């Protein structure tokens, strides 16, 4: 099980604007500290986290942050309308479009996804794979 994911950022303020445009809508809460941003899903007392925490931090070696070639973090938005809304909110908050929300032929008939990049260039996917919604094939 993945415990957490960390991406680097040279401008934590820009990263905060971008990630707070959609992560709180997915249930994540933000904690800020001198070492960056921490997003986590709420956990009831006595329970372990089910999903990975997400961190946005300056680099530890002091060199500029860079996006991983082929690396991507995907967040389950749980509905096609939320994928569209959160994709638009993330773009408005400083992200760049890497693929408008929609169905992709390479994935299952209900897999609906939008791709974007954060201000640092990290690739993010917002998706829904809800079988209760209309699929690609009708």
CATH hierarchy code of domain 4-45+52-59+73-128: 3.10.180.10
Residue 67 · residue 122 · CB < 8 Å: yes
List, run by run, the mean pLDDT of 10-residue segments along the chain (138 residues).
Answer: 89 98 97 94 83 91 90 96 98 98 94 97 97 91
Tell if the pTM clears 0.95, that is, is over it: no
Q: What is the pLDDT of residue 113?
A: 98
Domain coordinates in residue numbering, the chain: 4-45+52-59+73-128
Q: What is the pLDDT of residue 131?
A: 95
């Amino acid at each position: 099980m993945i415990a957490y994911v960390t991406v680097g950022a040279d401008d934590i303020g820009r990263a905060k604007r971008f990630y707070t445009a959609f992560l709180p809508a997915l249930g994540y809460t933000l904690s800020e500290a001198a070492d960056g941003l921490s997003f986590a899903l709420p956990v009831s007392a006595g329970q372990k986290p089910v999903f990975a925490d997400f961190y946005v931090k300056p680099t530890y070696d002091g060199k500029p942050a860079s996006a991983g070639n082929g690396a991507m973090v995907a967040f389950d938005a749980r509905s096609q309308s939320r994928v569209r809304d959160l994709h638009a909110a993330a773009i408005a908050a400083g992200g760049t479009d890497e693929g408008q929300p929609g169905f992709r032929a390479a994935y299952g008939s209900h897999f609906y996804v939008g791709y974007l990049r954060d201000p640092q260039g990290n690739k993010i996917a917002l998706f829904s794979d809800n079988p209760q919604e209309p699929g690609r094939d009708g």
